[in-house]
Structure 1
Amino acid sequence: MTTSLPSASCPALFIAAPSSGQGKTTVTAGLARLLRNQGKVVRVFKTGPDYLDPQILAQASGQPVDQLDLWMAGEAYCRQRFYQAAVSADIILVEGAMGLFDGEPSSADLAALFELPLVIVMDVKGMAQTAAALMSGLAGFRDDLLIAGMIANACGTQRHRELIESALPPSIPLLAALPRDPALTLPERHLGLVQADEIRDDLEARFEAAASALDAAGLATALMKIAPVTFTAAQGHVPSVPSSLAGQTIGVAKDAAFSFIYQANLDLLEQMGAKLCFFSPLSERRLPLCDALWLPGGYPELHASTLAENASMREDIQRFYSAGKPILAECGGMLYCLDTLTDYDENTHTMLGLLPGQGAMRGRRGCQGMQTADLAEGALRGHAHHRSMAEGTPEPIAHGRRQRHPAPGEPIYRQRQLTASYLHFFFPNNPAAVASLFSGSAASAQPSATEEFNACS
């Protein structure tokens, strides 16, 4: 006898674009705030590996924002997250990544799998009927997508809107046209949007301005026609999480310098029984009592002087490392573990000195992409996205395995119980490997490159 899995229905909308920089986040945040102001519970998801957009969207919606990626997290995980949101939400919004068809899997793949209606946001500055032609091309590229309509961003005048609307095919309605207004745009820096906590009050004004513009454009009324989507639970396919970290306290660096943290990672650690203790390497002088450390990515290069001046925190972490306790350092956290870090102004600052090497920023060019780390603890998927380089580092224990390219990915270092890499890991991809990393059970059996060299000498 086959038992059907529970299901829940909820209106849902996938907000995508022809490319990055079209205004997806502005529209998604503005719509979330508009619906929230109407008293609705809005759950927002972000496609792909992204830390900055979810911070913005969480503030706009007043609800936690999860990342969904079919390669990094898997279909069962995504399905379960959708189901859990649909149980309690009045509407679900999903913001896409890059262009609609970019990447493998793409935003289009996620929308098609879960039969989510798509709204395409397009910056129409400098074009009119051509915008309609681009929309027709996007709508006809695949036959498994439901295009609910278009939002014209940076629309100049009413006449501009009319030219676009009249050229669109009848099957693609123009749902709204947003004016060209600097008050609606979101501030950016070298890795993307500025972090929400740094500009919270300014963001509130931008959210309200975007909500008012979308309301005036009639978007909320247009969305009333969208039929609910049914999401089926994946409870039969998502493995239960063992209490592998029960009794463990994990110190998590979290402040303006270290903030690239998936909420799903924190949730998993707690589900495995760990107690999380957040601390700030910028403002606190002592390391809290803990059994393991997680130094996530962020912007240490913007705060390198403050980090260098906090000698007592540096000494505490050095003693923690010397005691052989587990440390996971990702990207910005890895830069913090090096001997020095040179910022964009070419000032060099003393860092922790746990991992030999020198970090330096390198302008606009950087490295990004999805990769798998084949660790002794198990394979763990994640991604890289950085604009820095590390030199003078020891021999890595492994390199990331790229998703679609044979070239070696990011180097992965291990010194004592420190595991460091440019990779940002998605913990739910392999809970057992994560538990081993933070308990040190597998790492203790694997000597570092330095220890191997000394043993051979």
Structure 2
Amino acid sequence: MVSRARVLMVSAVASGQGKTTVTAALARKLRQSGRTVRVFKTGPDFIDPRILQAASGHAVYSLDLWMTGEPACRQQLAHAAQEADFILIEGVMGLYDGNPSSADLARFFDVPVLAVLDASAMAQTVGAVAMGLRDFGPVRLAGVIANRVASEGHAAMAKEAMRDIPLAGYLIRQKLSLPERHLGLVLPDEVEHLDALLDQMADALALDLAVMDAMPETEFADVTTEQIAPLLQGKTIAVARDDAFAFLYPANLDCLQQLGAQLIYFSPLANDAVPASADAVYLPGGYPELHAAALAQNTAWLTSVRAAVAAGKPVWAECGGMMALTEALQDQDGVTHSMAALLPGKAVMQEKLAALGPHFLSTTCGELRGHSFHYSRLETHLEGVLHTTRHRDQKTGEAVYQQGSLRASYFHAYFPSCPRAAAALFLGEAL
């Protein structure tokens, strides 16, 4: 079966150009015009996809030629094209940054690029930047959205300077923006009146629908992927999910369910106990440092997670999930809070980025891929039983710690990259 849709890689020259703001506004604007929209995010990310989900009304999955893999990327795009008029893929960093880059993904699937250019400090030079983005790769540059322009006249100058490159739209410089913090955008649940803000951003986007509708369609042939064996059939996994433990790939949850697991959710931040019916526990990353005082006082949560480990239930804790299981967490204000004390040592927040980039864990089941991104360090005498490898330079990456049935790491695993290894995490099997 062949499906078609207008697919656009929304990219820029660098981070900070307003890609997420523009992608969210564009998704909402197209929805308001009656077009069906699906959105994807390039590379590993947890926060932008939740904003884009709010804007588009559909779950946002990751596309990455290395982490997700080409067959899974193709399958997801083909499935989305069966029901969408437009598919938007928000890029990561600058168009040509990374290996693989957003440009690599666009060229691999023959997807045209829609460039977001911050025009606040230039006029005609917008044209030079747009042509440079197009020709360096090259890529198929379908158009430009000029962000932070001063006026309609400013937008007109940019449009004229781009010659044969269409100006698909522009956003006047304004106070409307998505709030940020040290790991990126603020979580959607923390943004007051988010839906109204997204509507206002869409209203502010001057979009040329004729240019959008004239963009070429991309064809995708449906792909049949290998069936996942139900290795977790009959198992119930308790998944922490709240603003302290929010960094969850939708594809990870899908993978666990395809493995046969039943998922039940609980909130440590609301002082929920780990459900007694759970056979295993998944503590994803998030912002425990912002909620450390509450977590330290939530006795039902603390008692239950200690009991789960004491009972030998497999626990997999990633990044923020690991931090919540240490003896103490020192927040960004230098205040130290007691944590679950299941791992020796102290997690310390720092101003400097500690790690960023794709990693993989070599296991007996295969290569489990993912990434690392954190501003804290773990001060511990505990030695890692395994270590990830950094994809970029093949150097040793993050430690995987083990205490009884508990395994923890700064590594964020992408379960579909090796479902057998993901199952082993929750079966308590050796990796």
Q: Distance in 1 between matches of 2:85 and 2:141?
A: 21
Q: How many aligned positions are there? A: 430
Moved more, 288-297 or 369-378: 369-378
Report whether the alignment pairs 1:147 with 2:141: yes
* Contact 1:337 1:352 (C-alpha < 8 Å) held by counterparts: yes
**Residue 286 of structure 1: SS of its match in structure 2?**
coil
- The equivalent of 2:307 in structure 1 is 319
How far did residue 31 of structure 1 move? 1.1
Matches within 5 A, 1:25-174: 25-143=20-138, 145-170=139-164, 172-174=165-167
- The equivalent of 1:453 in structure 2 is none
**Residue 270 of structure 2: SS of its match in structure 1?**
coil
How far did residue 391 of structure 1 move? 0.4
- The equivalent of 1:234 in structure 2 is 223
Q: Distance in 2 between matches of 1:364 and 1:37?
A: 41
Q: Tell me the TM-score normalized by structure 1.
A: 0.92
- The equivalent of 1:262 in structure 2 is 249
How far did residue 376 of structure 1 move? 4.9
* Contact 1:396 1:414 (C-alpha < 8 Å) held by counterparts: yes
Amino acid at match of 1:366: A
Q: Distance in 2 between matches of 1:242 and 1:377?
A: 13
Give the counterpart of 2:287 among 296, 299, 313: 299
Q: Distance in 1 between matches of 2:178 and 2:272?
A: 34
Q: Distance in 1 between matches of 2:208 and 2:46?
A: 27
Once the two structures are superposed, what CA deviation does each residue of 1:57-102 show, in whole Å capped at 9, x if it has no partner? Answer: 0011111110111110100000000011111222211111110000
Amino acid at match of 1:177: Y
Moved more, 160-169 or 329-338: 160-169
- The equivalent of 1:204 in structure 2 is 195
Q: Distance in 1 between matches of 2:258 and 2:380?
A: 38
Q: Distance in 2 between matches of 1:67 and 1:219?
A: 28
* Contact 1:358 1:393 (C-alpha < 8 Å) held by counterparts: no
How far did residue 163 of structure 1 move? 2.4
Report whether the alignment pairs 1:222 with 2:215: no
Amino acid at match of 2:197: R
- The equivalent of 1:442 in structure 2 is 430
- The equivalent of 1:455 in structure 2 is none
Amino acid at match of 2:324: Y
Once the two structures are superposed, what CA deviation does each residue of 1:191-212 show, in whole Å capped at 9, x if it has no partner? Answer: 000001121x432222112211
Amino acid at match of 2:180: E
Q: Distance in 2 between matches of 1:95 and 1:270?
A: 27
Amino acid at match of 1:191: L
- Give the alignment's Cα RMSD to 1 decimal: 1.3
Once the two structures are superposed, what CA deviation does each residue of 1:232-281 show, in whole Å capped at 9, x if it has no partner? Answer: 1221xx21111111110000000010000000000111111100010001
Q: Distance in 1 between matches of 2:294 and 2:211?
A: 50
* Contact 2:3 2:221 (C-alpha < 8 Å) held by counterparts: yes
Amino acid at match of 2:152: Q
* Contact 1:73 1:429 (C-alpha < 8 Å) held by counterparts: yes
Report whether the alignment pairs 1:341 with 2:320: no
**Residue 269 of structure 2: SS of its match in structure 1?**
coil
Amino acid at match of 1:194: V
Q: Tell me the TM-score normalized by structure 2.
A: 0.97
Q: Distance in 2 between matches of 1:314 and 1:77?
A: 38
Q: Distance in 2 between matches of 1:177 and 1:48?
A: 26
* Contact 1:377 1:442 (C-alpha < 8 Å) held by counterparts: no
Moved more, 366-375 or 52-61: 366-375
Q: Which runs of 4+ in 1 moved over 4 A?
A: none
How far did residue 364 of structure 1 move? 4.1
Report whether the alignment pairs 1:380 with 2:380: no
**Residue 256 of structure 1: SS of its match in structure 2?**
coil
**Residue 341 of structure 1: SS of its match in structure 2?**
strand
Amino acid at match of 1:337: L
Amino acid at match of 1:405: D
Q: Distance in 2 between matches of 1:99 and 1:281?
A: 37
**Residue 72 of structure 1: SS of its match in structure 2?**
helix
Q: Distance in 2 between matches of 1:53 and 1:393?
A: 35
- The equivalent of 2:340 in structure 1 is 352
* Contact 2:271 2:300 (C-alpha < 8 Å) held by counterparts: no
Q: Distance in 2 between matches of 1:285 and 1:114?
A: 44
Report whether the alignment pairs 1:243 with 2:230: yes
How far did residue 225 of structure 1 move? 0.4
- The equivalent of 1:284 in structure 2 is 271
* Contact 1:136 1:169 (C-alpha < 8 Å) held by counterparts: no
How far did residue 422 of structure 1 move? 0.3
